[in-house]
Amino acid sequence: MNNEIIIRDALLSDLPEMLEIYNDIILNTTAIYDYEPHTLEMRTNWFNDRMQQQLPVIVATGADEIVGFGSFGLFRAWAAYKFSVEHSVYVKNNQRGKGIGKLILQQLIVEAENRNFHTMLAGIDASNDASIRLHEQLGFKEVGHFKEVGYKFDRWLDLKFHQLILKTSNQ
């Protein structure tokens, strides 16, 4: 792969590669607290929902392949949470540790600020030191630690929440 990573809006045609990344993470990591792989129909519905809400779905590409993707959605459904978003960033397993997640997250922060959201949240498995370091590098602070809220791979999982107050006109 060349070293040039391009961040762009995702296209419907990107979903099969995005699904491959997502399902690998479900099956082999604790980054997603799910057990079963998702279908292309599930990912298509998710993508269309984001598009209808005018929320970003972005991909990182390199050497003509998708190497990562990210998005955010509203943190909670109630009206008073309308300025809070929770994001997700996923990187292909053989591309982790190369700064791709950071590029995606930086772009998601810009997207959130441009839409005048006030705060961005991340739910991170407590054992995911790389993700925690990444978020801290970009100014996120730990605001919650939930003990044994997930169960995967025959063990209990802790979940940490990190938060970034965005630079927007809503401050």
Phi–psi pair at 139, nearest 5 degrees: 95, 0
Give me the torsion for CA of 150, 154, 155, 161, rounded to 10°.
-30
Question: Hey, how many other C-beta atoms are within 10 angstroms of the C-beta on 95?
Answer: 19
SS3 assignment, position 87: strand
* Domain assignments of the chain as residue spans, ordered by start: 6-165
Q: Record the pTM.
A: 0.94
SS3 assignment, position 59: strand
User: How much is the CA Rg of the chain, to the nearest whole Å?
Assistant: 16
Task: Walk along the chain (171 residues) and give the pLDDT tens digit of each residue.
Answer: 347 999 999 999 999 999 999 999 999 999 999 999 999 999 999 999 999 999 999 999 998 899 999 999 999 999 999 999 999 999 999 999 999 999 999 999 999 999 999 999 999 999 999 999 999 999 999 999 999 999 999 999 999 999 999 997 655
Give, for 31, the enclosing helix (H) or strand (E): none
Superfamily (CATH H level) for 6-165: Gcn5-related N-acetyltransferase (GNAT) (3.40.630.30)
Q: What is the pLDDT of residue 63?
A: 86
